[in-house]
Each structure stands twice: as structure tokens, then as C-alpha cells.
Structure 1
Amino acid sequence: MKKFPEIKWTTLYRQTIKHYLDKLETPNSVSAEELRTRLAKKGLKLDDLPLNKAIETYKKMRELKWERFYSTQTE
């Protein structure tokens, strides 16, 4: 920082933090059709997935999302 006194470090930090928070808040969603296309390219089909496995996976993803967004991490 002392090496580059002409740089406004607080402004740089503020912009970096704002960009990071915007990235976290922006939903990273994919349409169902896009997901189906991606899976097909990998040779997978949603029709082959048993319903109970799909429900179990959905519940696990929902729980992980809750932990990530709504709980306090203490690590």
C-alpha cells in the first residue's frame, strides 16, 4: 500500500466487497430445459432417476441451501 500511494485503497476495497456481495446475492439459476440439455450432453437422463432418489436429493439440497444462506457459520 505504501508502494502505491496514488491508489485509493479504501475505494478499491469497497468496490471489491460490493462486487463480492452482489455475486453472492445474484441467484445462479438454470432453466429446466438448459439443465436437461446439459445432462443429455453427459449421457444422463432425468427419466432414469427414481422418484424417491430425486426427492431425497431435493431435500438434501434444500437443507444445504438453508445452511449456506440462513445460518451463521462459525469456522
Structure 2
Amino acid sequence: MPDITLSISEEAYKKMKEHRGIRWTEVIRDAIMEHIHRLEKGKLEVTTEELLEGLGSEFEKDLSEISFEEAAGLYEKMREKEWKRFYTIQAV
């Protein structure tokens, strides 16, 4: 099986170390295969339910604590990053 190397943030690394029993290679392999599956199906969109499930209940609590203006600003920022990501994928 081929090997790949990837970089992660220091924060992610520290959190991964807190959960030593997890097979992180398998988690990453599954995530890559899921993304490939979505690419092949032409379904890169994620439903609201899938997104909230992936983010967890802590995110829902945090979301209720921010103002509408802040949420709108974050949405615009996310949209711009998603646009860049989408067109980067298309270029490959």
C-alpha cells in the first residue's frame, strides 16, 4: 500500500495525542475514501444534518451564542473559502 505524508496543525496533533487508542491512519483513510466517493457521485454538498452531526453538539451551543451579524460575516468568509476550494479541486 502506498504511503503519503500530511501536515496538521499543532492543535490537531495535541488533540490526537489525547486519544491514543484511535487508529488515526484509518480515520484519515476513511475520510479520503468518503471524499473520493462524493467526488465520483458529483455530490460534494453536505446536508445541514450531516454538517451538524460532524461538528457535534458543542458547535450547536456555540452557534446560538453569536449575533446574527457575526454569523453573516462568518458565512461570507466561509463562502469565499469554499469557492476557492471548489475551483482548486476543479483545476486538478
TM-score band by shorter chain is 0.3 to 0.5
Larger Rg: 1
**Which has the higher relative contact order, 1 or 2, with Cα contacts under 8 A spaced 6 or more apart?**
1
- TM-score under structure 1 normalisation? 0.44
Normalised TM-score (structure 2): 0.38
